[in-house]
């Protein structure tokens, strides 16, 4: 990845920030986009102090023009795009019967349409470079999770889009990776939306035993380097994938019981 141009959405925190650090550490030229200008600056400064090459752009992936500007920034600064990592995402925690539909629309706009917009404008350069498109999905993109209907829907949509894109370009040299991290130490649960669209704030899960964002980033870096089609991270994620294939009804009950044990669970 040395000298390659890597574009990362949601690059100001969590997995996106860890990915920026990981690729920069290996000599990549990194372009990050996110909504928080201050956090973007902090990431940029920390990477540049370590000798990394990085530019950033405040942007919102749910805005098509912002996605276009992110790709244009990469091409203007570095001449092309070799890897696009669609990482920006937002979650939710509410039963579908209670949730305002605007919450699900917001999740789809960020998690799904953000991926579509960025991929559309990066694709000509990626095809030219025989580069990589990466989608950061989730275990919720393998198994629909209760109280995360919008989140699971957006991740399943992303998966289908990227798999179709891979097949369309089988003879064009395009690499497409779908990464499924398990529960990861990041701020996605803190910024998750409640039924009325307000931010959840405090995470309902104990993050002590989760895989770190830095470890997730290392796995994704290796998968991009080896041009893998799919990775599932954490033992919990791998078990979920296997059980969903062979024991789906049992998994339904296990998932329900697991989620019902969360503090302040919406399940009555």
Residue tagged active-site, from 78, 117, 151, 221: 151
Q: Which two tokens stand for residue 66?
A: 């912002």
Q: Three-state DSSP class for 105?
A: helix
CA 219-158-40 angle, to 5 degrees, is 60
If you ran DSSP here, which 8-state letter would residue 111 be given?
I
CB 85 within 8 A of CB 8: yes
- Please say if 151 is a catalytic residue: yes
The alpha carbons of the chain give a radius of gyration, in whole angstroms, of: 18
Q: For residues 32 and 78, is the Cβ–Cβ distance under 8 A? A: no
Cα–Cα distance measured from residue 2 to residue 136, given in angstroms and rounded to the nearest whole number:
22
CA distances 249 to 96, 170, 188, Å, are 20, 35, 28
Q: Where are the beta strands (DSSP E) in the chain?
A: 5-9, 29-34, 53-58, 83-86, 132-136, 175-180, 184-185, 211-212, 230-232
User: What phi and psi, each to the nearest 5 degrees, are found at residue 180?
Assistant: -115, 85
Active site positions, annotated: 151
């Amino acid at each position: 990845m040395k000298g390659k141009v890597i574009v990362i959405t949601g690059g100001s925190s969590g997995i996106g920030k860890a990915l920026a650090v990981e690729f920069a550490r290996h000599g990549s030229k990194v372009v990050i986009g996110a909504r928080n200008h201050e956090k973007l600056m902090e990431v940029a400064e920390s990477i540049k102090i370590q000798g990394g090459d990085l530019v950033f752009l405040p942007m919102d992936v749910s805005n098509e023009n912002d996605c276009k500007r992110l790709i244009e920034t990469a091409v203007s600064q570095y001449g092309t795009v070799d890897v696009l990592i669609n990482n920006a995402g937002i979650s939710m925690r509410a039963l579908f019967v209670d949730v305002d539909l605007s919450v699900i629309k917001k999740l789809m706009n960020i998690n799904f349409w953000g991926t579509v917009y960025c991929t559309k404008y990066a694709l000509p350069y990626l095809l030219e470079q025989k580069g990589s498109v990466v989608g950061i999905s989730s275990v919720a993109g393998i198994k629909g999770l209760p109280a995360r209907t919008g989140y699971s829907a957006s991740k399943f949509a992303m998966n289908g889009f990227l798999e179709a894109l891979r097949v369309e370009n089988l003879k064009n040299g395009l690499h497409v990776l779908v990464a499924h991290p398990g529960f990861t130490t990041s701020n996605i649960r803190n910024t998750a939306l409640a039924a009325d669209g307000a931010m959840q704030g405090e995470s309902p899960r104990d993050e002590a035993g989760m895989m770190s964002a830095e470890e997730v980033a290392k796995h994704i870096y290796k998968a991009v380097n080896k041009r893998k089609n799919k990775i599932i991270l954490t033992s919990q994620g791998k078990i979920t994938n296997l059980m969903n294939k062979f024991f789906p009804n049992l998994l339904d009950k296990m998932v329900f019981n697991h989620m019902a044990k969360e503090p302040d669970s919406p399940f009555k």
